[in-house]
Amino acid sequence: MQLVKKLSLCIFLSVVVFKATAQPGTRQPISVYPDYSYRKKSDKSGMRHDAFELASKINIGWNLGNSLEVPGDETAWGNPKVTKAFIDSVKKAGFNAVRIPCAWDSYIEDQATCKIKASWLARVKEVVDYCVKDDMYVIINIHWDGGWLENHPVRTSQVQINTKQKALWQQIAVYFRDYDEHLLFAGTNEVHVDGTPTDENFDAQMSFNQTFVHAVRSTGGRNAYRNLLVQSYNTNIDLAVSKLVMPHDNVDRRLITEVHYYDPWDFCGLEKNEAWATMKFLWGTKFAQYGPISDRGQEDYVKAQFQKMKVNFVDKGYPVMLGEFGAITRPSLTGADLEHHLASRAYFFEYIVEQAKDNGIVPFFWDNGSGVFNRSNGSVSDKQALTGLMKGAAAGKYPY
C-alpha cells in the first residue's frame, strides 16, 4: 500500500469537542485536560541526524523489560531497582541503545487533570540519564500501562483515549524536551484487541499514532525535530504492510516504524500453561537433525518478513525498529537436548539480528530479567545468547 501521509485529525485542540466517533445512539463522556505543551521555539541544536542517519548509529539495542513499565512499583515483577552500575554492564556487553518500556497511568497524581507525579518523571529521567551518560541511544514509550490504551483501539473510547494520551505525551515531551537526539519517543506498544481486528480497530490505533506525533511536536524546542517511533497494529509485520498508514508529520524524515518479532511462537514463547505438547525447543534447519522444528518461521520466513518491511517502509523513507524480539529458554531440558536448545536459540538471535540489519531494521533484544544479564549484579548470565546477538550485530549491515 502507498504510505501516504494523512490522518490529519482535529482532536488536538485544548478543548476536545465530542464528535461522531461513537456508535450511533451512544454517548461518550470526554474529559478535558489542561494544555501541557508549553511550546518553545523550535531548536535543531543537537538534533542534526534524521531517522535514517540516527538508525545507522545503533549497533544493537536492548530492552529494560519488566521494570519501569510495571504499574506502581518497578520492582513488583521481580526485578531489582535499576542502577547506573547495571546500565554500565549493558553498555560494556556491546549494546549501544536501550528501550525503556514505561508505565504512566499508575503514576497520575490527579485524575481530573491527568497530571503525572513529578517523582515518577524524575525516576524515569534518572534511568534515561544512566544510558545517555554512557553515550547510548534511549527509547521511552507508553507501554502496556494497565491496558487503558493498548487494549482499547475501539471507536467508543477512541476520543477519550486520544485526549488522555495527548495530555500524557505533552507532559513527557516537555519534561524531556532539552535532551538531544540520543533520546527517542515511541508512542505506544502492542495496541490490539483479542480476536480478528477490524477496520475500526486499525483506524483507532492509527489515530493513537497521530495523536502522539502531534502532541510531541506541539511542545516545540528540540521536540520539533526529535525522531519518533510509531507502531503497526499489534506491532505485527503483516499488518504493518497491509494496514499501516504513517501519520502526518510537519518535519521530514523523522518518523520510524516499529514492529516486533516472536515467530514461530511455539519456539519463542509457548509456555507450560499453553499447548505444551506443541512446544518446539529447536529452531533453524540445521538443528532439525536433533528434533522437531516448527513447520513455519524458519530462516526463509525470517528473510521474507524482513524483506517486506524493507520494501514497504525502508525503501519508501521510513527506517524500522524491531522494538522487541526474543525466545525463552526451556530449563526443564537436560543433557544433549538442553545443549542443542541453547545452541539453536543463540543461532536464532544471531540470524534475526543479522537479517534485520541487512534489511534496514534496527534490532532491540527483549529482556524481561531472565535474558542475558543478572539484574542484581550486572554479570552476563547467558554468554552463549550474548555471543549470538553480537555475532549477528557484527555481520549485519544497514543498507543506508
Task: Return the pLDDT at 5.
Answer: 36
Nearest C-alpha neighbor of 294 from the set 311, 278, 314, 317 = 278
Q: What is the 3-state secondary structure (H, E, C) of the chain?
A: CCCCCECCCCCCCCCCCCCCCCCCCCCCCCCCCCCCCCCECCCCCCCCCCHHHHHCCCCCEEECCCCCCCCCCCCCCCCCCCCHHHHHHHHHHCCCEEEECCCCHHHEEECCCCEECHHHHHHHHHHHHHHHCCCCEEEEECCCHHHCCCCCCCHHHHHHHHHHHHHHHHHHHHHCCCCCCCEEEECCCCCCCCCCCCHHHHHHHHHHHHHHHHHHHCCEHHHHCCCEEEECHHHCHHHHHHHCCCECCCCCCCEEEEEEECCCHHHHCCCCCCCHHHCCCCCCHHHHHHCCCCCCCCHHHHHHHHHHHHHHCHHHCCCEEEEEECCCCCCCCCHHHHHHHHHHHHHHHHHHHHHHHHCCEEEEECCCCCCCECCCCCCECCHHHHHHHHHHHHHCCCCC
Q: Which domains does the chain have, with CATH numbers?
A: 51-395 (3.20.20.80)
Annotated catalytic residues are 190, 324
Task: Return the pLDDT at 272.
Answer: 66
Task: Return the pLDDT at 28.
Answer: 53
Task: Return the pLDDT at 27.
Answer: 45
Task: Return the pLDDT at 278.
Answer: 86
Task: Return the pLDDT at 275.
Answer: 61
Task: Return the pLDDT at 19.
Answer: 34
Provide block-wise average pLDDT over 10 residues at a time, the chain (400 residues): 37 33 47 96 98 98 98 98 98 98 98 98 99 98 98 97 98 99 98 98 98 98 99 98 98 98 96 73 98 97 98 98 97 95 98 99 98 97 98 98
pTM of the full predicted structure?
0.93
